Amino acid sequence: MYKQIEELLENAFDEMVDIRRFLHQHPELSFEETETPKYIADYHQKLGHTVRTNVGGRGVVAELDSGKEGPVIALRADFDALPMQDAKDVPYKSTVPGVTHACGHDAHTALLLVLAKVLNEHQAELNGKVVFIHQFAEEVIPGGAISMIEDDCLEGVDEVYGTHLWATTPTGKVEYNENALMAASDRFTIELQGTGGHGAQPHKTRDSILAATRIVDALHHLVSRQVDPLDSAVLSIGSFEAENAFNVIADKAVLKGTVRTFSEETQTHLIDEIERTAESIATAYGTQAEVRYVKGYPALINDAAKAENIRAAAASISAIDEVIHASPQMGGEDFAYYLQHRPGAFFFTGAQHPDWETTYPHHHPKFDIDERSMLNAAKVLGKTVVDSMAR
């Protein structure tokens, strides 16, 4: 049966491209998606699937029921875009000023819709159910996954799978990991309140900028000196703001940064140390520090058996040149929430076009993909569904 599914996917590739390009031209920001979920729901309804809309807010969940006993397998794709100007010179360039699909979520949606259509044509040969989870707002914390889960998108689901097209990995390659694949992604803000004054009279001030610079230096030593070298972690300061007059000592400075971890123990330790470090240094310089720490998505930890399902499926597909054991990535992904509730796996599908001289990474204004990667991802997910139902 799978060979027939693979052939149908090949025949439907042009439709996959058309859907992706239509969505690319009409992107919608996280938590502002209205037309995209309507488009998705209409597509599934025409296939005769049971469809729920407004799941967790703006999500869409469709169900393909074979009518026979078997596992319930969920496949997830996200559909939100980013607040960036599309700088590509292509016919399918975004028509919405300041908004573009610079991360591939349009392609995720397109491949899942066409896979749903193809699986639907083999409904009588399947065992169990396939649940298609179309998620809004992956790009912005708290993300759409957690609210969709709270609205029962995983009800009755036995296992869940998802993929991310990866523009910096060559098309034809699939990357998987049987354990930790992506990190927890947190952010923090530190506000330093001092006493400002004239730049010529620093002795009459409590210099917030000086205190902030000492804090930046100290924070960048936390990972190298307080985290086990075998336990990956990242702490980065991305913003340092204060008054910008050349002859003014600012009374206030604001630092913003991110922390990436895989271990909850390490995450908790760094939260405590960031607060302790900021407050103690601020006190030493006669200033006050207020630390606000916001936990983002948790670490994405695959189920080993389900990751093996992905590896085996990918290895059996002729279009996949190589299946690679991926190193953990420090980027975040709210698919992690699904894996906290059901066994499953997330993997990367190579999407780097072999003929392009320059490959632009995710979240770049000129980001694009080799659209054949959508077909590869659909084949892996389709094979995983068929094999899981046959077990």
Residues catalogued as catalytic: 80, 138
10 Å Cβ neighbour count for 199? 13
DSSP alpha helix (H) spans, 151-287: 208-219, 222-226, 264-284
**How many helices (H) and strands (E) are present in the chain, helices listed first?**
11, 16
Beta bridge partners of 259: 186, 235
- What's the number of CA atoms in the CB half-sphere (13 Å) around residue 77? 26
Q: What kind and span of H or E run contains 62?
A: strand 59-65
Task: Tell me how far apart the 2 most distant CA atoms of the chain are, in Å.
Answer: 83
Query: Is 264 known to sit in a ligand binding site?
Result: no
Two structure tokens written together for 82: 């980013």
User: What 3-state class would DSSP assign to 9?
Assistant: helix
What is the residue type of 252? K
* Distance in angstroms (rounded) separating the CA atoms of residues 358 and 125: 44
CB-based contact 220:170 (threshold 8 Å): no
Q: Are 21 and 44 in contact (CB under 8 A)?
A: no
**Residue 241 and residue 263: Cα distance in Å, rounded?**
31
In 3D space, the residue among 308, 388, 382, 297 whose CA is nearest the CA of residue 339 turns out to be: 297
Q: Per the annotation, does 243 bind a ligand?
A: no
Separation CA 389–CA 391 (nearest Å): 6
35 is in an annotated binding site: no
Closest C-alpha among 276, 255, 283 to residue 194: 283
Is residue 125 within 8 A of residue 389, CB to CB? The reply is: no
362 has binding-site annotation? no
Cα distances (angstroms) measured from residue 160 to each of 93, 204, 250, 307, 311 = 32, 61, 52, 11, 15
Residues forming a β-bridge with 260: 185, 234
Q: State how beta strands 252-261 and 233-242 pair.
A: antiparallel
- Residue 369: both structure tokens together: 């993909």
153 labelled binding-site residue: no
Name the binding residues. 103, 105, 139, 164, 363
Name the binding residues for Mn(2+). 103, 105, 139, 164, 363
